[in-house]
């Protein structure tokens, strides 16, 4: 089992104009993991990707460059090209249904209204893949969701989000070494 390849995929939108936005928190976690394991990213096909090892296990880190709502193409490509079962990927996304600073890890499930997850489920033809959701809150007026997720965190929110980036990084690395059940038990808040 020690050689099981895993890929951690953070969702977001490519481009400097989206850096630091609520929707790009998945990218922030992937960058934090890359910094911790000392890997750099290269653009390959539909994703920015880095390959390395964590505690002797092969690990891919990916940030799809297909924009959030079209993430499925890049994820399907990563799964297919690397001949992975879906339970060996972990998708990291923002979640408006969780308060800022909370994380929730699940082995599989629905989209919770998240268009990026919806597209991945369509492309994989399955909802049976682990996901880590990071709460970004839902402090927006009716019809304002699209603007809200594309805005940067407020200073007060950033104080809650920065520590959770580290927790999400550690949870993702736990997934690599310990699997999903141990990770859910240890990190769900």
- Residues noted as catalytic: 23
Residue 1: burial class (beta carbons within 10 Å; 0-12, 13-18, 19+):
exposed
* Nearest residue to 9 (alpha-carbon basis) of 120, 101, 137, 161: 120
d(CA 10, CA 41): 13
User: Which residues 6+ apart lie within 8 Å of 173 measured at CB?
Assistant: 33, 36, 54
Q: Are 131 and 86 in contact (CB under 8 A)?
A: no
d(CA 61, CA 28): 12
* Nearest residue to 106 (alpha-carbon basis) of 27, 187, 38, 177: 187
State the distance between the two ends of the chain, measured CA to CA, in whole angstroms. Answer: 28
* Nearest residue to 115 (alpha-carbon basis) of 67, 58, 160: 67
Strand partners, 167: none
């Amino acid at each position: 089992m020690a050689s099981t390849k895993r890929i951690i995929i953070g969702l977001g939108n490519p481009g400097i104009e989206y850096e630091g936005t609520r929707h790009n928190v998945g990218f922030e976690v992937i960058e934090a993991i890359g910094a911790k394991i000392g890997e750099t990213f290269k653009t390959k096909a539909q994703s920015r990707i880095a390959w390395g090892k964590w505690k002797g296990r092969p690990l891919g880190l990916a940030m799809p460059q297909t924009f959030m709502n079209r993430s499925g193409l890049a994820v399907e490509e990563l799964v297919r090209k690397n001949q992975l079962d879906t339970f060996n990927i972990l998708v990291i996304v923002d979640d408006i249904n969780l308060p800022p600073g909370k994380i929730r890890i699940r082995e599989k499930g629905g989209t919770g209204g998240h268009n990026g997850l919806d597209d991945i489920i369509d492309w994989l033809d399955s909802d049976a893949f682990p996901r880590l959701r990071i709460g970004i809150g839902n402090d927006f007026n009716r019809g304002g969701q699209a603007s809200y997720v594309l805005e940067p965190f407020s200073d007060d929110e950033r104080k809650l989000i920065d520590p959770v980036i580290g927790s999400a990084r550690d949870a993702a690395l736990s997934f690599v070494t310990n699997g999903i059940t141990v990770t859910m038990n240890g990190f769900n808040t």
